[in-house]
Amino acid sequence: MASARHRHVTRGGSWIPGLAALSIVSVLGLPRPDKIVAEAPAPPDSTVVVSAAPAPPTPNIMDLRRDLSELLNTGSLRRAKWSVLVVSLDRGDTLFSRDPYRPLAPASNMKIVTAAAALHVLGPKFQYQTFVFADGPIVDGHLRGDLILYGTGDPGISDRFFRNRSGAFEHLADQVAADGITHVDGAVVGDATYFSGPDLGPEWNPRDLNEWFAAAAPSLSFNENMVTLQILPAAQLGSPPRVVTIPADFPLAMNNGAETVAGRPRPRLWLDRVTPTAVIRMDGEIRQGGPDIWRRLTVPDPALFAARAFRETLDSVGVWVRDPENAVHFPSPSRITGRQSWAPGLIGPEEPRLIAQHTSPKMIDYLTVMNHESHNLFAETILKTVGKISQGEGSFEGGARAIRSFATGQLGLASDQIQATDGSGLSEGNRASAGAFVQLLSYVAKSPYWEPFMSTLPEAGRSLRRMYRTPAARNLRAKTGTIDGVSALTGVVGTRDGETLLFSILSNDLASTGAAKRVENRLGVRLAEFRRGPEISNDP
């Protein structure tokens, strides 16, 4: 936590429109785009994966190719679209390929690209900052104005990294109280204007928007932008069930037409919400004396959700806030983003002053969550951060543009080999090929970020809960991917000879993703069992 002396020093700065001074990036301690890009690793000497003059394949390689071909031709999978490539990282030769440069929907394998771009642009030690500004003078403990909670994209303000879901807000609230504030005569304002554009992916399926994997991705988040509903039978038969929210007392518009009954529910209780901002409809029956029903829903306004939680945390440390919380979503009314410049040393009593600051865990911790749990919120906020820092636009489009620039400029890929719409792979418009993924892995292997990158990939038999008790267990590391009709597995595996292989398996137009995943497992195990065998000489 910053010292009281440091906090008073920062209060001397003011936002002065029209002055040629430092931008918000400098004021808030965020990395400059030019600085970040200059520190990024240079491209390797060669991004070509396949060697120019490969040796003739050994009998063991021929056996491997036959076995993998048979796996891909299994049953209904013959009609699927495939893009598959297996390359030796050590030798650079191709061990197997099928349409390796055919762009297909990659599902969550898109997160591999997001992770590599984040390490390139931001680095593994990058940390998010969340700020609190006092928008008014402080007189006898009273802040004559609002407290502004300003987010810069941190998706980790939850109990995932702290002792409780409000741990990060407790840190900020303690700083506010230490600054001598006991009363806020205005409101807590959640400012989510550091990012721009929509919070939801434009191509996301509307039917998914209530689910955790399609939570909004603004620049200010709390509790991963989810609220939990505990639905309990009423004490009196015929009455509607009670609804408890976690966090407590979060207001949700609800039409509760459900009923508490004595016998078997007919029909069972169900919830429906057309969009995250629509009224929740609850109907059906719940049995008295039966178990509670639990349901998680995305929140309609994450910035307002965060502001409410911060207001409650302030109350717990003795800081009373007079007005109801509110949120800002567009730059023009923002007291922070809307300011064009900042001049240190010029005191303007009407200008917001920085009084509290929270620093997130490191980027590598967030990339691990993203890849181990296939967490879309983390993927999308990281994508927008990459776009903000490298392109000056923290949006889906800005992030997608940064991905495309990384793919063509750093990886040396043709523009059709990685086509990004979002950072998680949830959008239907994402496209990538197995060859592009292997090229990416080859590039990262030559960068300073290979070991951190590898640590983010799930390990077979452990965090990747597949291929137990096989040679792939605790050996193969890979990212999975699944959406309707799509399956993917991309990663790294060691052979029996200790050779490192890079592989990518993408399949589309599947009748069964389960069948494709069984083939992926068998293919991964077969690669782990592979021995190259003696070389065949080219000499006559």
- The answer to whether 508 touches 106, Cβ cutoff 8 Å, is no
Distance CA 451, CA 120 (A): 13
Query: What is residue 93's predicted lDDT score, i.e. its pLDDT?
Result: 95
Gap between the terminal Cα atoms of the chain: 73
Q: 265, exposed or middle or buried, with CB in 10 Å at 0-12, 13-18, 19+?
A: middle
Alpha-carbon distance values, 312 to 92, 169, 187, 231, 445 (Å): 57, 10, 12, 23, 46
How far, in whole angstroms, is CA 232 from its chain's centroid? Answer: 33
- 167-178 and 302-316 helices cross at what angle (nearest 10)? 60
257: how many CB neighbours lie within 10 A of its CB? 10
- The answer to whether 519 touches 486, Cβ cutoff 8 Å, is no
- The answer to whether 523 touches 505, Cβ cutoff 8 Å, is yes
Lowest-confidence region among 13-22, 196-205, 268-277, 450-459: 13-22
Alpha-carbon distance values, 217 to 134, 164, 302, 391, 516 (Å): 25, 21, 8, 18, 31
137: how many CB neighbours lie within 10 A of its CB? 12
pLDDT, one tens digit per residue, over 109-161 is 999 999 999 999 999 999 999 999 999 999 999 999 999 999 999 999 999 99
In this predicted structure, the answer to whether residue 460 has a pLDDT above a threshold of 70 is yes
Q: Which residues of 153-171 are buried (b: 16+ CB within 10 A; e: fewer)?
A: bbbbbbebebeebbbbbbb
Q: 54, exposed or middle or buried, with CB in 10 Å at 0-12, 13-18, 19+?
A: middle
Query: What is residue 44's predicted lDDT score, i.e. its pLDDT?
Result: 39
| Residue range 180-198: mean pLDDT, rounded | 98
Locate 136 and state its tokens: 């008014």
- The answer to whether 152 touches 126, Cβ cutoff 8 Å, is no
Distance CA 365, CA 156 (A): 10
Query: What is residue 313's predicted lDDT score, i.e. its pLDDT?
Result: 97
In this predicted structure, the answer to whether residue 540 has a pLDDT above a threshold of 70 is no
Residues 4-18+126-203+301-361, CATH architecture: 3-Layer(bba) Sandwich (3.50)
pLDDT, one tens digit per residue, over 26-61 is 444 454 433 333 333 333 343 444 444 456 788 999
Distance CA 145, CA 442 (A): 54
pLDDT band per the 50, 70, 90 thresholds, residue 536: low
Query: What is residue 12's predicted lDDT score, i.e. its pLDDT?
Result: 30
Q: Which of 159, 157, 181 is nearest to 306 (CA)?
A: 157
Where are the chain's structural domains? 4-18+126-203+301-361, 206-298
- The answer to whether 519 touches 503, Cβ cutoff 8 Å, is no
In this predicted structure, the answer to whether residue 533 has a pLDDT above a threshold of 90 is no
| Residue range 426-449: mean pLDDT, rounded | 97
pLDDT band per the 50, 70, 90 thresholds, residue 351: confident
Distance CA 129, CA 163 (A): 19
What's the helix, strand, coil split of the chain in %, to 5? Answer: 30, 25, 45
pLDDT band per the 50, 70, 90 thresholds, residue 345: very low
Distance CA 110, CA 426 (A): 9
Locate 261 and state its tokens: 């009954």
* Mean pLDDT of the residues in the chain: 88
Query: What is residue 52's predicted lDDT score, i.e. its pLDDT?
Result: 43
